[in-house]
Amino acid sequence: KQEVTQIPAALSVPEGENLVLNCSFTDSAIYNLQWFRQDPGKGLTSLLLIQSSQREQTSGRLNASLDKSSGRSTLYIAASQPGDSATYLCAVRPRWETSGSRLTFGEGTQLTVNP
């Protein structure tokens, strides 16, 4: 059974700092990994999707890496801003279609960026 862990559970940083959020998963047989952002009381917004054959993806100030063999992904946020404050979730999709397309989520990292 796939398990996804995110560290740290919460993070508070001053504005402008570069930061790294960590995600680990127990079963390396994944199809892809997706990072989401969730604002309080809102749904999930997809940030980055990394296919199992890829090593990283970049979008603006965000960079996500994937090391499938070690079961790890990191989300790097450059020059953080107060508007980045949210909960960040990572989720993995199984390789085999017989397992459906179920996303297995971590519990998230709650990020606060202080002005």
Residue from 15, 17, 78, 102 that binds another protein (CB under 8 A)? 102
With CB under 8 A as the contact rule, which of the stretches 14-22, 55-63, 68-76, 89-97 interacts with another protein? 89-97
CB of 15 to another protein, least distance (A): 26
d(CA 97, CA 93): 10
Residue 70 in tokens: 């070690």
Residue from 60, 69, 97, 115 that binds another protein (CB under 8 A)? 97
d(CA 27, CA 41): 31
- Write the interaction track for another protein spanning residues 18-37; mark x where CB under 8 A is met and - where it is not: -------------xx-x-x-
Burial class of residue 97, CB neighbours in 10 A (0-12, 13-18, 19+): exposed
